[in-house]
Structure 1
Amino acid sequence: MIRAESNAIQSHLDSFNKFEKFFDLSPDLLCVAGFDGYFKRINPAVCKLLGYSAEELMSKPINEFVFYADKNNTASARNELRKRVPLFDFENRYLTKSGDIVWLLWTSFPVENDEHVYAIAKNITYKKELEEERNLHLAELTKMSNDLKELTYTTLHDLRSPVNNLLSVFELLDTSKIEDSETQEYLSILKSTSESLKQTLNEYVTILNKKNENAAPIEKLNLRESLDEVLLSINSLIQNSHTTIDVDFSQLDTVNFNKAYLKSIFLNLITNSIKYVKPNCLPTISIHSDNKSGKKQLIISDNGIGFDMEKVKDKIFKLHQKFHNHIDSSGIGLYLVYNHVVNLGGHISVESKVNEGTKFIITFKD
């Protein structure tokens, strides 16, 4: 009988020692607090985080260690615990002995019989710092977006006025009095280019307005018609650079897309191909469509100077990234192309080698 009782006592002591070991070695903050607002017991993790000894932490009311801005809500939470209401996912801040602020996430259970609260806390300071950093970045991005939107509206507005004035001049101009056919042709090109520019500006204003309504207008577009509008607007550039453009839309002649976006894609990729031609070489551009395995694609390739894809990698579509020392390089064109595609659910990839040209493969959303 005595041996049985001794074994039971030993078993109880072993269990208690295991609990003590768990309590002391736990990386989480474990503590027992009284209804009087003082710590009654704490594990070493609490002391390590806050920088106080156990004696220091238990000698003062808990609220003296709480960050001043959280004292009231912490006191309110403690009152709820006194009413036997458990506390889950409660966050507050503590001041360490060195003056640093740490964020803790608490789960606490009151025990009515001995007026104690058993609590466990996790250090979530790193998480909170990440959230704060993310919120700061979001605020900065929001400001940048608003500034860019305002700048875009201003630019579009300011550009439309001189374009309208230029078109007014053409209306007043009596071309029948011009006998030189070459001059008439140049004036015709200049007028059509101005009209195209006006249309493009108006379309971008429409897009900006639609974006404020969280939607860019989507319509069924004929690839050839959209391309021809762009080619007409840069006809002089194409002729002066002696650029050859091969077009084949036999596999896919229409796509559901935004008209201004599609024209911008054609414009930026074609002018880039002309701009970054190899020395002593005439630009050759291939523009064709594909529709295989349910993928509707637009492929635009050239014979230009290309990119070192190992160096460029994912920077190619970033804003203000320049990979060639060209006087007209702004690092905006490919950024716009990328955003036009992905904003409407599509995908764009690049294949390129130095002095072997570049191929852009645009996959439209189904």
Structure 2
Amino acid sequence: MQEMTGIHPTEELFSHFFNLTQDYLCIAGYDGYFKKVNPAFIEFMGYSEEELMASPIHTFIYEKDQHRTATSRKGLTKGSPLLHFDNRYTTKSGEIVWLTWTAIPNEDNQLVYAIARNVNHIKKKEEERNAAIANLTQLNKELKRLSFTATHDLKSPVNNLISLFHLLDTSEIKNEENLLYINLLKESSENLRDILNNYVDTIKKKNTSLHHKEQVCMKQVLQATLDPIKYLIKNTGTTFHIDLDQASTINFNAFCLHSIFLNLISNSIKYARPGVPPVIQITSSNKEDSVQVSVSDNGSGFDMEKASGKIFHLNETFHDATDSKGVGLYLVNDYMKSFDGEIQVNSTVNQGTTFTLTFPNQ
């Protein structure tokens, strides 16, 4: 029967594949016209087979992609294959669709054999992702500008306050207690100025300092954190039990560690139980491939079940304090994640809270 029809079995198999595949198969001539297209491509384009072969191929290509496609086509006519080339086609209904092409030229018969797939959904996702990246980039710029503005604007009244202290003639003040308070205010103002300057310097480094790891001495950073708040510690009767001897250094970032210590310690003081002086314990230990630091207090604690899944979210608060904004723990968690670290928390109402920080050695 095959001999009677004159159709070779291989040609018959190719014909079935050509007609049944859902990929778009096309045979085009070096003259720029389709010579044969499969049913899937015909259905996709919405034109009849006769219409597709009657007009130059470039007329079906989206106008903005025509020049780029023509440039790539020149390589085909010189014998170079075209691999994973993306361009847009316009269907008869006017829809613009992204296709990705692989084409092989045959110089002997001046034909190009091509296969294409619809990648419109992938391009849409890429566009959404690029839009999201652009939005995040803009948001980051705005946040950086806000940080500059807030820090700069705060520096002016602080410098003004320091200037007033310098103008003040303390020799006329006979009350030693008042003189002590004035000196304390002056010292606190100068500490605040130094902190603001440090923030500005960090921002100016285009965030590189926040991603730079170094060997950090935890005792030094902790001491630098406690000094500016020593009078808050004294007035609240806060007691510290510190043991960082087992693991005194970590591979981290000094600026970020300072912020972590400051947030956790200030929270322990802020959320102390009424009438119970805060007791804060800070310890370290070496693990197999990391260093663990524990920060514990005897404060008011919170309900772990109610706070589950929200503890480190932005703007989440678990106490009624008016100055509680839900930012501190979010920052602590963000710093830890930035360096592949981990933070865990355990808390019991009216007993206290323990934060366990894990710093990878590498």
TM-score of the pair, normalised by structure 2: 0.83
In the alignment, does 2:267 pair up with 1:269? no
In the alignment, does 2:115 pair up with 1:120? yes
In the superposition, relative to structure 1, how do residues 324 and 119 fare at CA in structure 2: closer, same or farther (>3 Å)?
Answer: farther
Aligned residues of 1:207 and 1:217 also touching (Cα < 8 A): no
CA offsets per residue over residues 83-106 of structure 1, 9 Å max, x none? 333222222101123322211111
Give the counterpart letter for 2:343 in structure 1: S
Aligned residues of 2:302 and 2:318 also touching (Cα < 8 A): no
Match of 2:59 among 41, 60, 64: 64
In the superposition, relative to structure 1, how do residues 81 and 140 fare at CA in structure 2: closer, same or farther (>3 Å)?
Answer: same
Alpha-carbon distance in 2 for matches of 1:214, 1:127: 36
Aligned residues of 2:347 and 2:354 also touching (Cα < 8 A): no
CA shift, 1:217, in A, is: 7.0
Alpha-carbon distance in 2 for matches of 1:111, 1:81: 9
Alpha-carbon distance in 1 for matches of 2:342, 2:32: 61
Match of 1:348 among 333, 342, 345: 342
Aligned residues of 1:244 and 1:284 also touching (Cα < 8 A): yes
The residue aligned with 1:152 is 147
Q: What residue ranges of structure 2 are gaps of 5+ in the alignment?
A: none
Aligned residues of 1:192 and 1:232 also touching (Cα < 8 A): no
Match of 1:82 among 70, 73, 77: 77
Aligned residues of 1:348 and 1:360 also touching (Cα < 8 A): no
CA shift, 1:162, in A, is: 2.0
In the superposition, relative to structure 1, how do residues 216 and 81 fare at CA in structure 2: closer, same or farther (>3 Å)?
Answer: closer
In the alignment, does 2:199 pair up with 1:204? yes
The residue aligned with 2:91 is 96
CA shift, 1:221, in A, is: 4.8
In the superposition, relative to structure 1, how do residues 93 and 287 fare at CA in structure 2: closer, same or farther (>3 Å)?
Answer: same
CA offsets per residue over residues 100-156 of structure 1, 9 Å max, x none? 221111111222333321101122222222222222222222222222222222222
Match of 1:305 among 301, 305, 308: 301
5 Å-filtered alignment, 1:12-27, equals 13-27=8-22
Alpha-carbon distance in 2 for matches of 1:81, 1:107: 11
Aligned residues of 1:34 and 1:116 also touching (Cα < 8 A): yes
The residue aligned with 2:329 is 334
Please tell me the root mean square deviation across aligned C-alpha atoms, in Å. Answer: 3.3
Aligned residues of 1:207 and 1:216 also touching (Cα < 8 A): no
In the superposition, relative to structure 1, how do residues 187 and 256 fare at CA in structure 2: closer, same or farther (>3 Å)?
Answer: farther
* 3-state SS of paired residue (1:298): strand
* 3-state SS of paired residue (1:85): coil
* 3-state SS of paired residue (1:364): strand
Alpha-carbon distance in 2 for matches of 1:311, 1:38: 66
The residue aligned with 1:228 is 223
* 3-state SS of paired residue (2:246): coil
Aligned residues of 2:289 and 2:360 also touching (Cα < 8 A): no
CA offsets per residue over residues 290-338 of structure 1, 9 Å max, x none? 223242232223344336478653x544544555554323333233323
Aligned residues: percent identity? 44
The residue aligned with 1:361 is 356
Aligned residues of 1:104 and 1:124 also touching (Cα < 8 A): yes
Alpha-carbon distance in 2 for matches of 1:50, 1:84: 27
In the superposition, relative to structure 1, how do residues 133 and 216 fare at CA in structure 2: closer, same or farther (>3 Å)?
Answer: closer
Alpha-carbon distance in 2 for matches of 1:32, 1:223: 70
* 3-state SS of paired residue (1:335): helix
Alpha-carbon distance in 2 for matches of 1:283, 1:214: 33
Q: What residue ranges of structure 1 are gaps of 5+ in the alignment?
A: 1-5
Alpha-carbon distance in 2 for matches of 1:229, 1:276: 22
CA shift, 1:347, in A, is: 0.7
In the superposition, relative to structure 1, how do residues 162 and 105 fare at CA in structure 2: closer, same or farther (>3 Å)?
Answer: same
